[in-house]
């Protein structure tokens, strides 16, 4: 292209373009946002792949994530160590999956990870209760929460183990009309 930018090499940008759903401009913009989060930590020059990770606390304060009740889980699901510290690669990956160009199946996998609070590869009733409480900020009574969780499991659980495995989740998500629009 016309502009000379010195943040990434051309190969790096190419690789990013292939590995995510973003264009060059968007990747550069993302790098700008990443840099803004911790200017002293993040170098402007990424040509030699520095190993820099931004902690969870800084990332969840981004305006895009600030109001999201699942922000902690989102960031944790995309981090390598499971603690929420994102390198730039993880950062770009996260936004790539959350962008509107990512296909439904990809989003479904990560959505499952996000809603699986105890990371046991199942969404059990406790996970559901936590999800619901985060969604409604605990404004439902415990009986209502219980009832709603039970109904949700009843709707989606195909194999009868009272938990949602990924297969159950994906089957249910494929029928959920709002999933693509909202996620």
Partner 1 sequence: MCVCVCVCVRARVRGSQPASQPEPAQARRLVPGGASLSEAPPGTLEGKRVRRRDDGHIPPLPPKKSRFPARPQPSAHMDLDSVFYTHQHGLPSNPLLDQLPSYQSLLYRRKSSSASSTKRRSSMRGRFGSTSSWRWKGEKLEERPRSPQLNRPVHELTLSIEEKRRNKEQRMEQDKDLSSWKQWRLNTHRHLKRLKEDGMEVLSALQLWRGDIHVIEGMFGTGILSYFSFLRFLVLLNFVIFLLMFGFVMLPIIAVPYASGNSTFKVHDDAECSDYPSTSRQGLVVFHQYILDLLSGTGFLEKTYLFYGYYKVEAVHFPKFKYNLPLAYVLVTIAYLFLSLIWIVKRSAAGFKQNLIQDEDRFQSFCNKIFAGWDFCITDENAARLKRSSLLYELKTDLEEERIKQKIAGRTRKEKCRIYLLRLVLNLFVVTVLAACFYSIYKATVLSQESQLTDCNFIVKLIVEYLPSIVITLANFITPLMFTLIIQFEDYSPAFEIRFTLMRCVFMRLASIGVLLFSLWSQIAKCEDGNCSCGYNHKLYPCWESRVGQEMYKLMIFDFIIIGAVTIFVEFPRKIIVTYCDCGLAKWLGQQEFAIPQNVLEIVYGQTICWIGTFYCPLLPAISTIKYFIVFYIKKMTLVNNCRPATRPFRASSSNFFFLGVLLIGLALACVPIIVSIAQISCSKACGPFVNYATSWEVVPKTISQLPEELRSFLMALSSEAFAISLFVITCLAMFYVIALAGAHKAVVNQLREQLAVEGRDKRFLIQKLVQAQRKTMRSLSSTTMQDRHRPLYHGAENSSSEGLFTQLPPVSASSV
Q: Which of residues 94-133 bind partner 1 (CB under 8 A)?
A: 96, 98, 100-106, 109-113, 115, 118-122, 124-126, 128, 131-132
Place of tokens 């009272």: 162
Beta-bridge mates of residue 164? 123
Query: In whole angstroms, how close is the CB of 141 to partner 1 at the nearest point?
Result: 10
Scanning 19-27, 30-38, 40-48, 50-58 for contacts with partner 1 by CB under 8 A, the matching segment is 19-27
Structure tokens at 13: 């940008």
Query: In whole angstroms, how close is the CB of 52 to partner 1 at the nearest point?
Result: 14
Choosing from 4, 18, 40, 48, the residue that interacts with partner 1 (CB under 8 A) is 18
Query: In whole angstroms, how close is the CB of 39 to partner 1 at the nearest point?
Result: 22
Question: How many Å apart are CA 178 and CA 12, to the nearest integer?
Answer: 35
Q: Which residues contact 70 (CB under 8 A, 6 or more apart)?
A: 114, 115, 131, 134
Which residue in 54, 116, 105, 44 sits closest to 79, CA to CA?
A: 54
Query: In whole angstroms, how close is the CB of 181 to partner 1 at the nearest point?
Result: 6
Question: In sequence order, what DSSP letters do the residues of 14-62 get, joined into one string?
Answer: HHHHHHSS--HHHHHHHHHHHHHH-TTTS-S--TT----EE-HHHHTTS
Q: Does 44 bind partner 1 (CB under 8 A)?
A: no
Question: How many Å apart are CA 161 and CA 100, to the nearest integer?
Answer: 33
Query: In whole angstroms, how close is the CB of 80 to partner 1 at the nearest point?
Result: 6
Q: Does 9 bind partner 1 (CB under 8 A)?
A: no
Which residue lies nearer to partner 1 by CB, 40 or 177? 177
Scanning 2-10, 39-47, 53-61, 160-168 for contacts with partner 1 by CB under 8 A, the matching segment is 160-168
């Amino acid at each position: 292209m016309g502009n000379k930018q010195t943040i990434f090499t051309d190969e790096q940008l190419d690789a990013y373009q292939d590995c995510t759903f973003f264009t060059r401009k968007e990747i550069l913009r993302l790098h700008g946002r990443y840099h803004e989060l911790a200017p002293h930590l993040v170098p402007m020059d990424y040509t030699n792949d520095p190993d820099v990770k931004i902690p969870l606390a800084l990332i969840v304060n981004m305006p895009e994530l600030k109001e999201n009740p699942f922000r902690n889980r989102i960031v944790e699901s995309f981090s390598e160590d499971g603690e929420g510290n994102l390198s730039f690669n993880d950062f770009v990956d996260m936004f790539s999956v959350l962008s509107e160009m990512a296909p439904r199946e990809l989003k479904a996998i990560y959505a499952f990870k996000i809603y699986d609070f105890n990371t046991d590869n199942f969404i059990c009733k406790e996970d559901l209760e936590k999800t619901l409480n985060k969604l409604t900020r605990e404004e439902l009574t415990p009986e209502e929460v219980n009832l709603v969780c039970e109904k949700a499991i009843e709707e989606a659980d195909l194999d009868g183990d009272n938990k949602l495995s990924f297969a159950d989740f994906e089957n249910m998500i494929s029928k959920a009309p709002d999933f693509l629009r909202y996620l």
